[in-house]
Structure 1
Amino acid sequence: MSEDIAPEVPPRLDRRQTGPVTLRRGRVPSTTTDQRLLDKRQPSDWLHTDPWRVMRIQSEFIEGFGALAELGPAVAVFGSARTRPDDPAYALGIEIGRLLAEAGYAVITGGGPGAMEAANKGAYEAKGTSVGLGIELPFETGINDYVDLAINFRYFFARKTMFLKYSQGFIVLPGGFGTLDELFEAVTLAQTQKVTQFPVVLMGTAYWQGLVDWLRERVLADGMISPGDIERLTLTDDPHVAVRTIIEHEGPSS
């Protein structure tokens, strides 16, 4: 054999390129993607794999963007699902929803019971747009009856994107971990300038004052945040002040 003629190299059976992904040795599947697609006897496990979840995630963003793109100016109202109708916070939520609707804002909540239901009820009774962004949970109770436009999500991060993308600000009623999660995500995104001109109003001084004091006296004093980060939070008991705070930052479009 001539030295300038390379011998034929057999195909590498221990390596496969699937798009940008390289598989080697034990990672190489025994069948090809086409075979698995066309094989009617294939198992249903693929429905639960991460690549397929990407498609579900994509569909949630598409559905959310499509449903909310023409919503207009809106404000997200957060609060506990455990708030009872006889709780003063429930009445406060109704008033917040009513005032926002009268100011020309759609009201977006998590769509559940409690404080969320109250805000949706206020918007509904004021003939405004009442939106609920639900989430799949083991103990979910479904979308409350005062929601006109409802979207249910599997993934928290897709749902959170909708709250932030389509809201001019947050009004936060007393709540637990879920409410705190939304609150701190909002102020973090404002702090890091991922969102700008984004007011956050805490409704209920008796409930929130201790948290604000701790942030100022401990977190700020230790240099973990800046003075401007505290100033992003408006603390009030007056629903008119809450709505006016939103309007002063960015009023509804004409």
Structure 2
Amino acid sequence: MAHLHRQHGHGHGHDREIETLEKFDEAVARGSLVGRRVQSLDLMDRTFALLSADATAAVFLGCRMAPDAAAKVRADGALVFPPVPDVPFDPYRGLLYTPDELFAGLAGDGYEATPDARTYAWFQRTMRDGDIFASMLRAVHDDAISDALDERLAGVPVVGVMGGHAMARGTDAYAGAARLGRSLARAGLTVATGGGPGAMEAANLGAYAAPHPDGMLDEALLLLGKEPSYAPSVGDWARVAFEVRSRWPGGGDSVGVPTWFYGHEPPNAFAGHIAKYFANATREDGLLARCTAGVVYLPGAAGTVQEIFDNTTPNYYESRGEPTPMVLVNRTHWTEHLPAWPLLRALAEGRSMEPRIALVDTVEEAAEALLRLGGR
């Protein structure tokens, strides 16, 4: 489904998709569901509409329907993939996740009862079992998430902020990453991160703070510092984040792209839209490919190094077109502790990506460098 869309752009394929009841009602009002793809809708109250509309060549993915409605659309020639029972996620979902959805039940029953934790537990169990049906459900889910992410980011300038999960709240580094996210968002860019804790949460927090007065971020950082890390208690860590969101509603939007592969790392609550994957390789490649306005790399360890060179390869070969900006932050970290910068600079020498890379000392310089390299 989504692979064709990603190869050929954001054209008519997405126009055929129906992910909300509002879009369903609009299609029925025009008298036809012909060729439409209807994803994950509860259509139990739309029986008359299904009985009256032409559903030739339509596809219903995980939609709840009355038996007579399901029989009728099948008779029209539609394909009907029924909801999958007894799994804690919807493999056919048409929209990205929200923090409220993934953390539902946190306040009452704790993190282990949330859809996020229950899905991770299912993932761990089925990975051990080697169940081919579970493997298929994971693949369908991840493709649906990629499709939803494409729709969300179509035509939007996206800047990635990569960095380690170990960066604790209450530190200068965390505050700096948050200010970076705020600066990028205020420059009109959509911030995208790996969607987890640490540097990723900080950048999403900064984007959330962008519409608010400057003092809001300072207060939020103090509040978050009460729970510096998701270990030992994910629940306490997440509850403070939701307290910030409740105290300062109406925050700016950003995207998080986490994975259940690293299930011990929870998603953060500041990304307005969350594309959570089972397959980490799909998640990594998809995140970097969508960073059309470039990527800022904060200090990190193996995962961040991998992201640097995952992005270097298409920039080196220009396989995604013109190279996108890459800004590494913290000279000491990237030249001495983990010397990725000398290798990146050597690879870039004499190629079109050479004027699109930069090494800066501080996060305050990073946003300016990225905008300059991107010609903004």
Q: What's the TM-score, normalizing by structure 1?
A: 0.69
Q: In the alignment, does 2:340 pair up with 1:215?
A: no
In structure 2, list runs of 5 or more residues that go unmatched: 1-129, 212-251
SS of 1:153's equivalent in the other structure is coil
Instruction: Work out whether 1:93 is the aligned partner of 2:93.
Output: no
- Superposed CA offset, 1:20-39 (max 9, x none): xxxxxxxxxxxxxxxxxxxx
CA contact (8 A) 1:97 1:122 kept: yes
Matches of 1:91 and 1:121, distance apart in 2:
10
Name the CA distance, whole Å, in 1 between partners of 2:135 and 2:290.
Answer: 31
TM-score, scaled to structure 2: 0.48
1:47 matched to which residue of 2? 133
Deviation at 1:79, TM superposition (A): 0.6
Partner residue, 1:60:
145
Q: Which residue of 1 aligns with 2:186?
A: 102
State the distance in 2 between where 1:160 and 1:213 align.
20
In 2, the alpha carbon distance for the partners of 1:94 and 1:245 equals 17
1:237 and 1:213 map into 2 onto residues whose CA distance is 12
Q: CA deviation digits over 1:148-196, x for unaligned, max 9?
A: 1111111123223432333110100011111111111111110111132
Does structure 2 conserve the Cα–Cα contact (< 8 Å) formed by 1:74 and 1:108? yes
Q: Is the 8 A contact 2:285 2:310 kept in 1?
A: no
CA contact (8 A) 1:111 1:144 kept: yes
How many angstroms apart in 1 are the aligned matches of 2:191 and 2:341? 29
Counterpart of 1:158, as a letter, is T
Residues in 2 aligned to 1:49 and 1:115: alpha-carbon distance in whole angstroms: 31
Paired residue total: 202
Deviation string, structure 1 residues 73-127 (Cα, Å, up to 9, x no partner): 1211011101112333212201110110111111111111111111111111113
Distance (Å, rounded) in 1 between the aligned partners of 2:181 and 2:342: 29
Aligned to 2:349: 227
Q: Distance in 2 between matches of 1:45 and 1:119?
A: 37
Question: Residues of 2 paired with 1:132 and 1:188: CA distance?
Answer: 23
Specify which structure has the higher proportion of helix: 2
Q: Which amino acid aligns with 1:187?
A: T
- Counterpart position of 2:305: 180
3-state SS of 2:274 partner? strand
Give ranges in structure 1 of 5+ residues lacking alignment: 1-43
Match of 1:201 in 2: 327
AA aligned to 1:76 is G
Identity %: 31
Q: Is the 8 A contact 2:195 2:201 kept in 1?
A: yes
Q: Aligned to 2:287, what secondary structure does the other structure show?
A: helix
Q: Flag the structure with higher strand content.
A: 1
Question: Take 1:105 and 1:179, find their aligned partners in 2: how far apart are those partners?
Answer: 21
**What amino acid is aligned across from residue 349 of structure 2 in structure 1?**
P
Given that residues 261 and 279 in structure 2 are in contact (C-alpha distance below 8 angstroms), is that contact kept between their aligned partners in structure 1?
Answer: no
Tell me which of the two structures has the higher relative contact order, counting C-alpha pairs closer than 8 angstroms and 6 or more residues apart: 1
Distance 1:123 1:227, change over 3 A: same
Q: Counterpart amino acid of 1:184? A: F
Q: 1:213 & 1:68 partners in 2: Cα distance?
A: 29
Cα 1:100–1:200 change in 2 (3 A) is: same
Aligned counterparts of 1:111 and 1:166: Cα–Cα separation in 2: 14
CA shift in 2, pair 1:139/1:165, >3 Å? closer
Whole-angstrom distance in 1 between the partners of 2:274 and 2:341? 36
> Quick one: distance in 2 between partners of 1:156 and 1:228?
33
> Root-mean-square deviation (CA), in Å?
2.8
Q: Which moved more, 1:169-178 or 1:205-214?
A: 205-214
Match of residue 90 from structure 2: none
**Native 8 Å contact 1:60 1:158 kept in 2:** no
Q: Secondary structure at the match of 2:191?
A: strand
Q: CA deviation at 1:54?
A: 5.0
> Does the 8 Å contact 2:325/2:374 carry over to 1?
no
